[in-house]
A and B are shown apart, each in its own frame.
Chain A
Amino acid sequence: MKISKKKLFEKLRSLRLIGFDFDGIFTDAKVILSENGLESVVCSRRDGLGINELQRLGIKLVVISKEPNKIVATRCAKLKIECAHGVDHKLSLFKKILDREKIKPKYAAFMGDDFNDLECMRYAGVALTVADAYHLNKKVSHYITQKNGGHHAIREVADMVVEAREGKRNQKAAFNAATPLIL
């Protein structure tokens, strides 16, 4: 369901909310597990910068994850993103959030890499996924990032949204330095 860059940018210009899956989008889907039972994941600080840019544009961001481990909430708290984890049925929660924010589905995007994200991706006006996603997620996506999950794929999306809204970034106005960066 890939669409032209022009059509995609039109959609991105009116975007008000992005929902994200966590594992496989913020990470490469891997988990490091120690013998003490402590779980770790690797995130991208470049994604962190992209998240900051999306927030600067006033786009509401929310993470909806099936994973029960609080590591998801820890990362989201740092990035100041609303987070729901341990979610078994993502679409019903996504709908509730859109209702609460009074945002129509066509002004929302969802970015997910696996089976349990498909419903949300079909429901949102913009479906986004990563290069190494499950094949069905690629099929329903309007845009597939060139990057794999955890390898700055969110940054790629953020850069695209910024470009759609503000044109290609020139070096002078690279970042709004007035806002403190949380990566």
Chain B
Amino acid sequence: MLSQDGTESIICNRRDSWGLNEMKRLGIKMVVINKGLDPAVSKRCQKLKLEYKYDATKDKLSILKDVLVREQVKPESVLYVGDDTIDLPCLKYAGLAVTVADGASECKKAADYITEKNGGQGAVRELCELIVVAKGGLSRT
């Protein structure tokens, strides 16, 4: 979203927050990766207490690899969610690749799971719920 004074805004979904809190409770490390700094994304991550990694000089996969080395996590224990071609290397590298219903066709091809919801329409929440259920924390019915 762009206003006439040039201010850029993003639209997020507050229903995602519950899912993200559950991930923290389960001890799953989360990180948002951008190629360059996006101030609005940075603000959202601050509020949700998510780590935000960006580096305009690196591709997303190198940033992801740095995080994995630091956290001593193997790629097979990593889930990556991305919607565009810039995310493809990360999707292929991670043990579990997820994209959204309105993701790029290349991402859908590479994905192990495609959310029913579009990006920004509760896709993160949908994924978090699945993880909670898989870990035995919540009944779907």
Contacts and interface: CB of A to CB of B under 8 A. Distances in A.
B27 to A, nearest CB: 19
A93 interface: no
Interface residues of A, number: 20
A178 interface: no
B112 interface: no
B14 interface: yes
B14 A35 contact: no
A23 interface: yes
A134 B43 CA distance: 26
Given A34-B8, A35-B7, A67 B43 contact: no
Contact of A33 (B15, B40, B122): B40
A31 interface: yes
A31 B11 contact: yes
Contacts of A40: 9
Interface string B111-128: 000000000101000000
B39 to A, nearest CB: 4
Contacts of A53: none
A36 B12 CA distance: 15
Contacts, number: 53
B29 interface: no
Interface string B1-37: 1010001111111110010000000000000000000
B58 interface: no
B9 A35 contact: yes
A114 B9 contact: no
B44 interface: yes
A115 B44 CA distance: 22
Interface string A29-42: 11111111100100
Contacts of A27: 14
Contact of A34 (B7, B122, B140): B7
B40 A34 contact: yes
The winner among A32, A33, A40 for most chain B CB atoms within 10 A is: A33
Contact of A32 (B1, B15, B18, B39): B1
Interface of B: 1, 3, 7-15, 18, 38-40, 43-44, 120, 122, 140
Given A34-B8, A114-B18, A115-B18, 6 more contacts: A32-B1, A33-B43, A35-B7, A35-B8, A35-B40, A134-B15
25 contacts: A24-B15, A29-B13, A29-B14, A29-B15, A30-B13, A30-B120, A31-B11, A31-B14, A32-B11, A33-B40, A33-B43, A34-B7, A34-B8, A34-B40, A35-B38, A35-B39, A35-B40, A35-B43, A36-B7, A37-B43, A113-B15, A114-B15, A115-B18, A116-B18, A135-B140
Interface of A: 23-24, 27, 29-37, 40, 67, 113-116, 134-135
